[in-house]
Amino acid sequence: MELPFAESYKIKMVEAIRKSTREEREKWLKEAYYNLFNLRSEYVYIDLLTDSGTGAMSDKQWSAMMLGDESYAGASSYLIMKDTIKKLFGFNDFLPTHQGRAAENVLFSVLVKEGDIVPGNTHFDTTKGHIEFRKATAVDCTIEDSFHPTKYHPFKGNFDLEKLENVLKSNPIEKIPVIIVTITCNSSGGQPVSMQNLKDVYSLAQKYGTKVFFDSARFAENAYFIKMREDGYQNKTIKEIVKEMYQYADGMTMSSKKDAIVNMGGFIGFRDRKLYEEASVYNIMFEGFVTYGGMSGRDMNALSQGLMESTEFEYLDTRIRQIAYLGERLKKFGIPLLEPFGGHGIFIDAKRFLPNIPKEEFIAQTLAVEIYLESGVRAVEIGTLLADRDPVTRENRYPAMELVRLAIPRRVYTNSHMDYVAAAIENVFERRDKITKGLKILQEAPIMRHFTVELDRA
Ligand SMILES: *Cc1c(COP(=O)(O)O)cnc(C)c1O
| Residue 409 belongs to a domain | yes
Rg (CA), the chain: 21
- Provide the pLDDT confidence category of residue 303 given band limits of 50, 70 and 90: very high
| Residue 385 belongs to a domain | yes
How many angstroms does the Cα of residue 414 sit away from the middle of ligand 1?
Answer: 25
Asked if residue 327 and residue 252 are part of one domain, the reply reads: no
Dump pLDDT digits (tens) for 190-216: 999 999 999 999 999 999 999 999 999
CATH classification at residue 317? 3.90.1150.10
Q: List the catalytic residue out of 217, 302, 364, 379.
A: 217
- Provide the pLDDT confidence category of residue 51 given band limits of 50, 70 and 90: very high
Query: Would you state the pLDDT for residue 179?
Result: 98
Query: Would you state the pLDDT for residue 392?
Result: 87
Atom of ligand 1 nearest to the CA of 266: 7
| Residue 14 belongs to a domain | no
Asked if residue 251 and residue 148 are part of one domain, the reply reads: yes
How many angstroms does the Cα of residue 374 sit away from the middle of ligand 1?
Answer: 29
What mean pLDDT comes out for the span 338-366? 96
How many angstroms does the Cα of residue 99 sit away from the middle of ligand 1?
Answer: 8
| Residue 382 belongs to a domain | yes
What mean pLDDT comes out for the span 212-225? 98
Atom of ligand 1 nearest to the CA of 101: 9
Atom of ligand 1 nearest to the CA of 53: 7
Query: Would you state the pLDDT for residue 400?
Result: 85
124 is catalytic: yes
The closest residue, in CA terms, to atom 6 on ligand 1 is 100
Q: List the catalytic residue out of 98, 156, 344, 450.
A: 450
| Residue 6 belongs to a domain | no
Asked if residue 348 and residue 436 are part of one domain, the reply reads: yes
Asked if residue 211 and residue 110 are part of one domain, the reply reads: yes
Asked if residue 443 and residue 384 are part of one domain, the reply reads: yes
Asked if residue 421 and residue 392 are part of one domain, the reply reads: yes
| Residue 5 belongs to a domain | no
What mean pLDDT comes out for the span 376-384? 96
Structural domain total, the chain: 2
What mean pLDDT comes out for the span 57-81? 97
- Provide the pLDDT confidence category of residue 401 given band limits of 50, 70 and 90: confident
- Residue 285's CB is within 10 A of a number of other CB atoms, namely 10
If we measure between CA atoms, which residue out of 257, 255, 455 comes closest to residue 368? 455
Residue 187, pLDDT above cutoff 80: no
- Provide the pLDDT confidence category of residue 405 given band limits of 50, 70 and 90: very high
Query: Would you state the pLDDT for residue 259?
Result: 98
What mean pLDDT comes out for the span 145-172? 95
DSSP collapsed to 3 states, the chain = CCCCCCCCCCCCCCCCCCCCCHHHHHHHHHHCCCCHHHCCHHHCCEECCCCCCCCCCCHHHHHHHHCCCCCCCCCHHHHHHHHHHHHHHCCCEEEEECCHHHHHHHHHHHHCCCCCEEEECCCCHHHHHHHHHCCCEEEECECHHHHCCCCCCCCCCCECHHHHHHHHHCCCHHHCCEEEEECCECCCCCECCCHHHHHHHHHHHHHHCCEEEEECCCHHHHHHHHHHHCCCCCCCCHHHHHHHHHHHCCEEEEECCCCCCCCCCEEEEECCHHHHHHHHHHHHHHCCCCCCCCCCHHHHHHHHHHHHHHCCHHHHHHHHHHHHHHHHHHHHCCCCECCCCCCCEEEEEHHHHCCCCCHHHCHHHHHHHHHHHHHCEECEEECHHHHCECCCCCCECCCCCCEEEEECCCCCCCHHHHHHHHHHHHHHHHCHHHCCCCEEEEECCCCCHHHCCEEEEC
Asked if residue 391 and residue 331 are part of one domain, the reply reads: yes
Asked if residue 380 and residue 331 are part of one domain, the reply reads: yes
If we measure between CA atoms, which residue out of 5, 122, 8 comes closest to residue 410? 8
Dump pLDDT digits (tens) for 270-295: 999 999 999 999 999 999 999 999 99
Q: Out of 310, 340, 365, pick the residue that ends a domain.
A: 310
Asked if residue 141 and residue 35 are part of one domain, the reply reads: no
Full domain range(s) for residue 32: 22-51+313-457
Q: Out of 259, 294, 310, pick the residue that ends a domain.
A: 310
| Residue 252 belongs to a domain | yes
Asked if residue 74 and residue 36 are part of one domain, the reply reads: no
Q: Which protein residues are within 6 Å of ligand 1, measured from CB?
A: 52, 99-101, 124, 126-127, 182, 186, 215, 217, 255, 257-258, 266
| Residue 373 belongs to a domain | yes
The closest residue, in CA terms, to atom 8 on ligand 1 is 100
Give the mean pLDDT of the chain.
Answer: 96
What mean pLDDT comes out for the span 260-271? 98
Asked if residue 92 and residue 42 are part of one domain, the reply reads: no
Asked if residue 237 and residue 176 are part of one domain, the reply reads: yes
Atom of ligand 1 nearest to the CA of 102: 9
What mean pLDDT comes out for the span 101-112? 98
Q: Out of 280, 310, 340, pick the residue that ends a domain.
A: 310
Q: List the catalytic residue out of 72, 333, 398, 451.
A: 72
CATH classification at residue 201? 3.40.640.10
